[in-house]
Amino acid sequence: MKQTAYVNGHFLPMESAMVHIEDRGFQFADGVYEVVACFNGNFLDMQPHLERLERCCAAINIPLPCPLERLAELVRQTWQKNPFPDAMIYIQVTRGVAPRAHLAPDNLVPTLIITSADLPKPSEAKLTSGAKAITLADFRWKHCEIKSIALLASVMGKQEANRQHADEAFWLDTEGHVLEGCSTNIFAAINGTLVTHPLDHQVLGGITRSMLIRVAREAGIKIEERPWCLDEPGLTETMLTSTTNAVLPVCVMDDKPVGKGIPGPMAGRLRALMLQNMDALRNA
């Protein structure tokens, strides 16, 4: 499919969709973004994604380029111009264009881009074997709750994971607690309870994280949001969540098996429940 991108009020062919070289996103990573999944034109949790974008813009003092209802409409239009059956919508807002200086002038017009692409999904092989991860000491900044486009640490973490033939790197705090992955939130099954790090400045409040907690709660699974470690007694499974993965079991950690080293029952059950929600959107 020939892709069309939305750029500052215009729909343009992807190859001519450009922003200025003095865009502050390009020069300072001065912006925030969202990734939303869409199934047959029905968006998964659009409102929470747009509300997170609004919060993140507010956190770095960028005015929203337009009201949320208008943004939702632009997202819909972008999908209609790129109607991938399972789509991944990317939304990026930067502070705008100005001569390069750290302090931005007042009243810049924010840059807004929106694209729609095929939703990447874990392969069947990955679902069967589970993903592999490594652990890294967290060297990111102290505002991970903001979905910033400054992703250099995440890029470096993914490179290191790839070098070690793994799919993801889990960030550990100085006490060895698992915070989150480079582009995912992380959960563990510990004595039958679903455990994940609480929301704070070290973790992005993933929309899929919220969905997994909701789905688990409805299924009667006990949930604890607390710091946890990979060597906790009773830990049988780890899994990651993100818009592009839904929930995916992680079965090898730093080259050692997690639990039995194969996808476990908690992840399997939760993935089936999440996929039901996505199928419902596909068939809506």
Q: Which range touches ligand PDD (CB under 6 A), out of 77-85, 99-107, 180-188, 221-229?
A: 180-188
The least distance separating ligand PDD from the CB of residue 184, rounded to whole angstroms, comes to 5
Which residue's CB is nearer to ligand PDD, number 30 or number 34?
Answer: 34
Determine, following the binding rule CB under 6 A, whether residue 185 of this chain makes contact with ligand PDD: yes
Determine, following the binding rule CB under 6 A, whether residue 35 of this chain makes contact with ligand PDD: yes
Task: Choose which of 5, 46, 243, 273 interacts with ligand PDD (CB under 6 A).
Answer: 243
Task: Choose which of 92, 111, 115, 184 interacts with ligand PDD (CB under 6 A).
Answer: 184
d(CA 68, CA 65): 9
Q: How many residues make contact with ligand PDD (CB under 6 A)?
A: 14
d(CA 247, CA 267): 7
Sign of the Cα torsion 209, 212, 218, 219 reads negative
Which residue's CB is nearer to ligand PDD, number 87 or number 207?
Answer: 207
Binding to ligand PDD in span 131-170, by CB under 6 A: none
The least distance separating ligand PDD from the CB of residue 12, rounded to whole angstroms, comes to 22
Which residue's CB is nearer to ligand PDD, number 35 or number 72?
Answer: 35
HEC string of the chain?
CCCEEEECCEEEEHHHCCCCCCEHHHHHCCEEEEEEEEECCEECCHHHHHHHHHHHHHHCCCCCCCCHHHHHHHHHHHHHHCCCCEEEEEEEEECCECCCCCCCCCCCCCEEEEEEEECCCCCHHHHHHCEEEEEEECCCCCCCCCCECCCHHHHHHHHHHHHCCCCEEEEECCCCEEEEECCCEEEEEECCEEEECCCCCCCCCCHHHHHHHHHHHHCCCCEEECCCECCCCCEEEEEEEECCCEEEEEEEECCEECCCCCCCHHHHHHHHHHHHHHHHHHCC
Which residue out of 2, 126, 142, 147 is catalytically annotated? Answer: 147
Binding to ligand PDD in span 42-71, by CB under 6 A: none
The least distance separating ligand PDD from the CB of residue 206, rounded to whole angstroms, comes to 3
Q: Which range touches ligand PDD (CB under 6 A), out of 10-18, 125-133, 239-247, 268-276?
A: 239-247
Determine whether 147 is an active site residue.
Answer: yes
The least distance separating ligand PDD from the CB of residue 49, rounded to whole angstroms, comes to 7
Residue count of the chain, please give it.
284
Binding to ligand PDD in span 194-233, by CB under 6 A: 204, 206-209
Determine, following the binding rule CB under 6 A, whether residue 183 of this chain makes contact with ligand PDD: yes
The least distance separating ligand PDD from the CB of residue 241, rounded to whole angstroms, comes to 6
The least distance separating ligand PDD from the CB of residue 144, rounded to whole angstroms, comes to 6
d(CA 54, CA 57): 5
Residues that bind ligand PDD (CB under 6 A): 35, 180, 183-185, 204, 206-209, 241-244
Residues belonging to the active site: 147
